[in-house]
A and B are shown apart, each in its own frame.
Chain A
Amino acid sequence: MSNGSREAYIVAARRTPVGKAPRGGLRRTRPDDLLAHTIRAVLADVPGVDPAAIDDVLVGCAMPEGEQGMNVARIGLLLAGLPESVPGVTVNRFCASGLQTIAQAADRIRLGEADLMLAGGTESMSMIPFMGQRPAFNPAIFERDENLAIAYGMGITAERVAARWQVAREDQDAFALESHRRAIAAQDAGAFAAEIAPVDTVAREPDLEGGEVREITATVERDEGPRRDTSVERLGGLRPVFAARGSVTAGNSSQTSDGAGMVLVASADALKRYELEPLARFCGYAVAGVAPEVMGIGPVEAVPRVLKQTGVAQRDLDWIELNEAFAAQSLAVIRELDLDPERVNPCGGAIALGHPLGATGGIRAATIVHGLRRTSGRYGLVTMCVGTGMGAAGIFEAVG
């Protein structure tokens, strides 16, 4: 192990396509298999790295139970073929989990405790629904009004943000339409080619007449969420879901999804040892807490913290991946922070591309790392709001 290395570099970044949950192309692919697939894809990009040299594998997952329980990080890395000497840990900060792991991996490297770390996230919302299979709220939550918002669904928090920050329904629908438009344009231009590792799927169904098991294979190559057929009219015709007189609809909310995204984080010493070309430098990470009932505003607190911590000026951010949990909260964040809308989600966001909770941070990190290089940008920001009222933000700097 090296000591004194103070920089953490992203040397490889890959993700699966994001499938629609619960009926998309990845619905029958286990999240540990998605993770193993993505780990293999990352390591295939750096053939000179000995997998046995990886110090740890950190995997974010927002609902770590069932098919993604039992420390999915460790199971996934073993399924990927990494040696049993490589440890793994699963991390949960809900929607920020996949970015949290990258930050923790970078921390270990910057402390000099590690040279190579795999980090990112995996999530199958097809197999493990939002809130898990057995939500069990603490009765104490309902004994005091000030704790009730802990039990708020994310949609209600979006309605609260829309009301407090006066984000109109029309603006939310327009934002959603733009997310789809940008995502489709990015897909058509092949913008995701460098980051996506297509997934071969197998479904095994009984052939009752033949008495055999029939294997149906398919390959998922593209994010399934973007819709060419959407329009302001169609979005405007959707009814509010979370509030009787609300403005938040299924069309201006993020999609439930399946997917995985991982990066390989390396020290400067590892760059030399394995002759690795860095894609980006991980500059810093910040988290902050906000009132649970307006959890969507989390980035408003986290982003200034990470900018101050890293010394990067907001005007120098060339690319911003703001996770679009809801158009209402995205617009409120954009307005509060005075972000340049042109730089926010240039390839579309979660409303079009999907939001596989704990994997999103890893997926968006892969997008921004490759996107900065493709567009000759320098600094990129990945930020998201987090359930129960938090915000997370990480800054990447393109290298080379």
Chain B
Amino acid sequence: MILHVDELLYAAVSTAVGLADCDYRAPLAGTTFPVAGAPGIATLEATLVNLHAGGFISDHDYAIGKALATALCGGRVEPGSHVDEDWILRLEREGFMQLMHTDETAARVRHMLETGKPLRN
């Protein structure tokens, strides 16, 4: 996590240099891996339900958690389905864009840019 916006560029360059020093190579095209799918999303959502019912997270925290769960589990597919990195990144992008269209996420982004601190709403 980058705590201050002024450090962002330095952190990014350092990370890239580090990857290069470790001979990082981008993944081969066409590599797939199994995902937890719809049941995995359900299992994570069960935790969200209880956190929400217990007042530990807000409605919007729940929505963010659900979007994360969807991306992490590869979407509403059968468990064990094989997907590739592009599939996961697409889910992440779709979830992000849906959230960006909400007032709550817009407020969180604005608050972070203005203050450098997270907003819980």
Residues of A within 8 A of B (CB): 135-139, 141-142, 148, 151-153, 155-156, 159, 242-246
Contact = CB atoms under 8 A, between A and B. Distances in A.
B49 A151 contact: yes
Contacts of B1: none
A231 to B, nearest CB: 27
B54 A139 contact: no
A44 to B, nearest CB: 44
Contacts of A139: 38-39, 41-42, 76
Contacts of A135: 43, 46
Interface residues on B, range: 10 to 19
B50 A153 contact: yes
B45 A142 contact: yes
B53 interface: yes
Contacts of A244: 54-56
Given A244-B55, A244-B56, A151 B38 contact: no
14 contacts: A137-B45, A137-B46, A139-B76, A142-B45, A142-B49, A151-B50, A152-B50, A153-B50, A156-B53, A159-B53, A159-B54, A243-B56, A244-B54, A246-B54
What secondary structure prevails in chain B residues at the interface with A? helix
A141 B55 contact: no
A250 B50 CA distance: 17
Given A148-B49, A151-B49, A152-B49, A136 B43 contact: yes
Contact of A243 (B45, B49, B55, B76): B55
Interface string B10-41: 00000000000000000000000000001101
B49 to A, nearest CB: 5
A246 B50 CA distance: 13
Given A142-B49, A148-B49, A156 B42 contact: no
A137 B43 contact: yes
A309 to B, nearest CB: 35
Given A138-B42, A139-B41, A246-B55, 10 more contacts: A135-B43, A135-B46, A139-B38, A141-B42, A142-B49, A152-B50, A152-B53, A156-B50, A159-B54, A243-B56
B39, B49, B50, B53 — most chain A CB neighbours (10 Å): B53
A161 to B, nearest CB: 13
B35 to A, nearest CB: 14
Given A142-B45, A151-B46, A137 B53 contact: no
